Structure 1
């Protein structure tokens, strides 16, 4: 057994014994599993793609995706928070500014500091979908930021938020800020239909002062930096969907032990879903491994993420139909996974966002005419 297999086995065992019993409370009661997340950090659950010099495991993104997959089998909400935390470590690792990397990366990689990525608004803005919400101005010591982000997950007063802002006439900055910094405030969101235990809050900035050790990327660095981190950002999310698909296939197989004679008339049987899943996992693994020495083709990355959303929706839909009335009960995981699958399809980049970006790449002439 190699190091990657050993860590995945250890984390899978931890998820079965410690996370599975919490899944309903996380989903329905808004329980935030902070203790579990911190213990996961000690095992290296967020640090697979981080070099050993920063307290990482020295492996790669494909192993991190496998870790997220194993956790998402038990709880999609927690799988999402694993993506949040590990992606914040990914941001810091690739920052061109050593000061912010040295200040935070080790603690984020091992969950001594918990962190949320608030880049949804920026990613949608860069895709031409919405306006950017945060604005920054230059100061003698750095920048001053104001504005609000409606949904940032895995944050609390003592957590770190990694977000971006627009600097007039210069471009964009990305930065890390403690949520108890003067001028930063947190507000509750409206109740969601799922994912309530993800500690998702509205994050507001009122003339928040940033210094050089807070800055992940300055305006002159931002363009190249975003290109570097985006494939990992997008591919990392596939672990959420893959784990939910795996669990849904298992539910279908379990149900067919007694009801195969009638379930055979449903679409998306377990064998078909499993075959598609294995093909998708192989494709994602190749793309994830390619990020270690540069970047894979962004079109391939977007298509893999899109395929994950689409298969996740189909698999969870099929699992509910296979279980019948039992799957419609609130205490059955099939209905929870169906709501988790919808989240996989709407979290940035959402299914429609992915299709928009894919269309833009595949039809550059249309984009030129629109400009």
Structure 2
């Protein structure tokens, strides 16, 4: 699959959008384009492609990139994601997938890949995802690597299956990590990008989820899929993964922040008609706002040094991500309690947010994996 680009899409020509502009546009796009689609995204599995491209054109997938065409500004990318997450976690998750793909490419030494595919991912001209759930579990001793790579002339061939890769279709690119099973390089791991219509690549539909159906999530089968050297992100990955791991995790904060803010809004929405009884619930909107503000401050501080590879720093990153998942579920639970029966109907926002919130707690790295990671580092939650 070719990575040729028109000159106007070269990364060197990308204009870096101002942070205020990105967030103002994210607000506008969310209100005018995303909100009318939320019910169809949840109930019908609609993928909001036009909305995703609009976010990309506004710079929502760009400011976190290290350079060029970026500012290592993870805060703005997280905040833009939260704008969507206030209304729809499916869309916020797709934004994370897109942002993570750019993060991988622009932290690579493959400058040609940055100038071609990276430029298109940064602007939303090309949509794509991240097939790193299995590798991230493998790196922390939970699973075995599902993709196997065989070195061949000019690149690699891949065999194996990934059960779930999101924000993809046959026109999308996505990142994967594979392991060389035998030969002089046995045990080494390589990271590369694949295309949905690449030779030997097949996308298959899996089970339906209780939420997040509008995320274009597929199983990926690789049957001697050829990956040219030009599509390699890191080979081997030993020094590369510690470089990207904090950003990979911190960027997910946008999903959680949006979810929590949306749930606070649902609690406040019924203060007039139900405040006289809801006041007896132990957890109030102010309780969640206080915890969210503290979590945002911690994540913002961590975003200033995403390349810190020390254990002390990474423990803080893990604890922040764990808190984000826990607070998302707690906020959604309480939004349901505050809304009562009006949130329990088929089209009620509260029941949708409750279903969505569990995804923040189970998406890689899930709550149980985060707790294992802390234990492996000799820390407690």
- Counterparts of residues 303-322 of structure 1 (less than 5 Å): 303-322=319-338
Structure 1 window deviating more from structure 2 (332-341 vs 120-129): it is 332-341
Give yes or no for the alignment of 1:163 onto 2:179. Answer: no
Deviations 1:115-172 (A, max 9, x none): 1101000000111111110000111111110100011001100100111101121410
Match of 1:216 among 233, 246, 250: 233
Structure 1 equivalent of residue 217 of structure 2: 200
Give yes or no for the alignment of 1:151 onto 2:150. Answer: no
SS of structure 2 residue aligned to 1:191: coil
- After the TM superposition, list the runs of 4 or more consecutive aligned residues in structure 1 that deviate by more than 3 angstroms: 51-54, 293-296
Counterpart Cα distance in 1 of 2:242 and 2:189? 13
Contact 2:315 2:379 (C-alpha < 8 Å) held by counterparts: no
Match of 1:245 among 251, 256, 260: 260
The 3 A distance-change label for structure 1 pair 59 and 5 is: farther
SS of structure 1 residue aligned to 2:167: coil
Structure 2 equivalent of residue 129 of structure 1: 142
Contact 1:268 1:314 (C-alpha < 8 Å) held by counterparts: no
The 3 A distance-change label for structure 1 pair 166 and 71 is: same
Counterpart Cα distance in 2 of 1:163 and 1:257? 50
Give yes or no for the alignment of 1:343 onto 2:359. Answer: yes
Any unmatched runs of 5+ in structure 2? 1-16
SS of structure 2 residue aligned to 1:223: coil
Give yes or no for the alignment of 1:115 onto 2:132. Answer: no
Contact 2:66 2:107 (C-alpha < 8 Å) held by counterparts: no
The 3 A distance-change label for structure 1 pair 358 and 21 is: same
State the TM-score, normalizing by the size of structure 2.
Answer: 0.91
State the TM-score, normalizing by the size of structure 1.
Answer: 0.93
Counterpart Cα distance in 2 of 1:268 and 1:290? 34
Shift of 1:198: 0.2
The alignment yields a C-alpha RMSD, in angstroms, of 1.5
Counterpart Cα distance in 2 of 1:250 and 1:295? 37
| Number of equivalenced pairs | 358
Shift of 1:100: 2.3
Structure 1 equivalent of residue 201 of structure 2: 184
Counterpart Cα distance in 2 of 1:181 and 1:361? 39
Structure 1 equivalent of residue 10 of structure 2: none
SS of structure 1 residue aligned to 2:125: coil
Give yes or no for the alignment of 1:44 onto 2:49. Answer: no
Counterpart Cα distance in 1 of 2:253 and 2:137? 18
Contact 1:248 1:316 (C-alpha < 8 Å) held by counterparts: yes
Structure 1 window deviating more from structure 2 (164-173 vs 114-123): it is 164-173
SS of structure 1 residue aligned to 2:304: helix
Counterpart Cα distance in 1 of 2:20 and 2:283? 30
Counterpart Cα distance in 2 of 1:147 and 1:51? 32
Counterpart Cα distance in 2 of 1:110 and 1:261? 48
The 3 A distance-change label for structure 1 pair 185 and 148 is: same
Deviations 1:241-271 (A, max 9, x none): 1101001011111111221111112132111
Contact 1:76 1:244 (C-alpha < 8 Å) held by counterparts: yes
Give yes or no for the alignment of 1:301 onto 2:317. Answer: yes
Contact 2:29 2:54 (C-alpha < 8 Å) held by counterparts: no
